[in-house]
Amino acid sequence: MALVKDPFGAREARGSVGGITASRNRSGAYFRSKASPVQPRSSAQQARRVTLQFLNRKFLDLTPTQQASWNDFAQTWTKSNVFGDSTLRTGINWFVAFNSRLNAVGVSISETPPLNPEPVFNAAVSIFQHVSTGNIMATFTSSLPANNWLWLQWSSNLPTSSQFKKKSLKQRQIISGPQSGSVTLIPYNLLSPGDSLRQIEYFGVDPAGRATPRSRVTIYPVTV
């Protein structure tokens, strides 16, 4: 079902009605035929499905009081949709969101929600190509605290004409705190200087599994 802002097509719509999907790109709003979804087949997609099934079972195994605490949390805190409007998640939505990150870094899941959805730190990091080594580096402008993580996704070498494409990003590295100084992300020998770009997205995760807003960087590697 399409998510509509004002009368259908008059301002903006996202989603599908019948065989038509409404979406938007740099050129503006458009309609296309609806594509039938396919079942995930890659190892990463299958692993993600297994994790979601695991966490759904974990939520159902919680006591009624614990489940109620997550449902109360969901009634208190909202998320914004594609139009910027506030929407409610369910308790299990929040449980899976926080605990999927904790599960990924090997930390025990949290059976009770935090006080709020806001992380307790900012992912203060600068990503750039080093002028001497040519490596793409991450430098922490303030230390990454212990029991916190920086998650990094980046693309392969893309043509310089590429716009930011989320599907090109893959989870590549998770840096654990405490951490300060610089970390090499992509060695120079894996770059294609002068005729490509790398798209990078990163965010911080705190001990409760809460995530900072995602930041995006595009690097145009040069020859060193």
Higher-confidence residue of 14 and 174: namely 174
Percent of the chain with pLDDT over 70: 79
Question: Containing domain of residue 27, as a range?
Answer: 3-33
CATH number at residue 165: 2.60.40.10
Tell me, yes or no, whether 26 and 60 share the same domain.
no
Tell me, yes or no, whether 131 and 213 share the same domain.
yes
Instruction: Using a cut of 0.75, tell me whether the model's pTM lies above it.
Output: yes
Tell me, yes or no, whether 55 and 130 share the same domain.
no
Q: What average pLDDT does the structure give for the chain? A: 86
In a domain, 117, yes or no: no
Count of the separate structural domains present in the chain: 3
* E strand segments, 155-189: 170-176, 179-186
Shortest CA distance to 68 belongs to which of 99, 90, 36, 35?
Answer: 90
Instruction: Tell me the per-residue pLDDT of 49-72, one tens digit each, with 9 for 90 and over.
Output: 899 999 999 999 999 999 999 999
